[in-house]
Amino acid sequence: MNIKKEIPTAVLLLNLGGPDSIEAVRPFLFNLFSDRDIIRLGPAFMQKPLAYLISALRHKKTESFYRLIGGKSPILDITTAQASALENEINSSSLTSQFSRPLKVFVGMRYWRPLIDDVVPQIYAQGIRRLIVLSLYPHYSVATTGSSLSRLDSVLDSGYPIETFRISSWFDHDLYIKALAETVQRSLDAFSSPATAGPGGAAPAHVLFSAHSLPVKFIEEGDPYEEQIKGTVRAVTQLLDISWDISYQSKSGPVKWLEPSTDEMLEKLAEKGVRKLLLVPISFVSDHIETLYEIDILYKKSAEKLGIDLRRTESLNTSPLFISALKDIVIKGFKEAGWASDNMTS
């Protein structure tokens, strides 16, 4: 009898990472600016020396931002919770009936612990030889998912022969869109309720979808990020009766970035008479410094000066519908990889 040997399989979630203490801010910044997929600091041999200089010059200011949100980034705690919730969901589905043991979900970060460089050897040491790799950036860019996958390849090529199936974008996945639409509608309902309406009574709020910005040169070179952001917004707004705009936040450096910027859009909306604004951090699936500091503190303060009552939707984090979306994405990945039967249900 010919018995097919099972290949130990797992799931790996990829994310940015963030400093887990004030002391970690400077080395985190060094790792970030050392990545030539994000920014090219002169010729290749100058990348790390210049990254060292930039991190030395910027870390004190950046540390002050992190102190305002609890002294660290919450992204590892949230991503770990997402991985745990996803692992429970996957192992309660029919997928695991095809495997002799529960599937594990690992987390690998690009710029801070647990680094991809450290997680892959741990995965290999546990005997795992197949990985469904899911980037937690819904929208593909060479500067985000592309950089993480490039780093993953470098680590795998250094002596860890693990077969992978990569899921590099899911900007229009039905359950993801539904989760976003539900959180927007829930926030709009709260905005309009008599108890929380604020200035202007129960008048409807304008919605601003704010995505992380990207240098225009990436788009000119064929990066699909901007079109995928617009695709997500189109899909969400088809489910809602709202007035809305798109803007881009978190730009840095002298190069040309995607426009309009979120701070510029706040001024334009104020000039148009908008007094109630719901900001949706469209490219983020968990809270981190861009939501907790840049939006909740910086933009909120700017909006107040402009006479705008600005509020933000909750990040998806571990919301049940979002975890269901991740489970469906992973299960479809198993099927597309040929590692699970097509008649399996989620």
- The tokens of 238 are what? 């088809």
* 333 and 251 within one domain: no
* 157 and 217 within one domain: no
* 268 and 206 within one domain: yes
Q: Is the pLDDT of residue 68 over 70?
A: yes
Q: Is the pLDDT of residue 122 over 70?
A: yes
Q: What is the CATH number of the domain that holds 198?
A: 3.40.50.1400
In a domain, 35, yes or no: no
* 286 and 144 within one domain: no
Structural domain boundaries, residue 262: 174-312
Q: Is the pLDDT of residue 195 over 70?
A: no
Distance (Å) of CA 263 to CA 37, 182, 250, 260, 306? 26, 26, 10, 8, 11
Per-residue pLDDT, 196: 55
Residues 106, 119 contacting (CB under 8 angstroms): yes
In a domain, 27, yes or no: no
Tell me the pLDDT of the chain averaged across its residues: 93
* 184 and 148 within one domain: no
Other Cβ atoms within 10 Å of 222 Cβ, number: 7
Per-residue pLDDT, 96: 79
Per-residue pLDDT, 3: 42
Give percent of the chain above pLDDT 90: 86
- The tokens of 168 are what? 């590099």
* 145 and 13 within one domain: yes
Q: For the residues of 156-185, what is the DSSP string, one character each?
A: HHTT---EEEEE---TT-HHHHHHHHHHHH
Round the CA-based radius of gyration of the chain to a whole number and report it: 21
* 184 and 144 within one domain: no
Per-residue pLDDT, 343: 53
Beta strands in 288-346 (DSSP E): 309-312
* 242 and 186 within one domain: yes
Tens of pLDDT, residue by residue over 258-306, are 999 999 999 999 999 999 999 999 999 999 999 999 999 999 999 999 9
* 247 and 282 within one domain: yes
332, amino acid identity: K
Rounded CA-CA distance 317/281 in Å is 12
Single out the residue of 127, 126, 106 nearest to residue 116, CA to CA: 106
In a domain, 51, yes or no: no
- The tokens of 229 are what? 């952001």
338-345 contacts, C-beta under 8 A, 24 or more apart: 339/9, 339/130, 339/132, 339/165, 340/95, 340/98, 341/98, 344/94, 344/95, 344/98, 345/93, 345/94
pTM of the complete model: 0.94
216, amino acid identity: V
- The tokens of 225 are what? 């990020």
Give percent of the chain above pLDDT 70: 94
Residues 110, 17 contacting (CB under 8 angstroms): yes
- The tokens of 172 are what? 């229009």
In a domain, 62, yes or no: no
Residues 191, 311 contacting (CB under 8 angstroms): yes
Is 159 buried (19+), middle (13-18) or exposed (0-12) by CB count in 10 A?
exposed
Residues 55, 49 contacting (CB under 8 angstroms): no
* 149 and 87 within one domain: yes
Rounded CA-CA distance 309/339 in Å is 50
SS (H, E, C) 56-104: HHHHHHHHHHHHHCCCCCCHHHHHHHHHHHHHHHHHCCHHHHHCCCCCC
If pLDDT is split at 50, 70 and 90, which confidence band does 253 have? Answer: confident
Rounded CA-CA distance 307/283 in Å is 26
Tens of pLDDT, residue by residue over 303-332, are 999 999 999 999 999 999 999 999 999 999
Distance (Å) of CA 16 to CA 137, 151, 205, 278? 9, 12, 32, 25
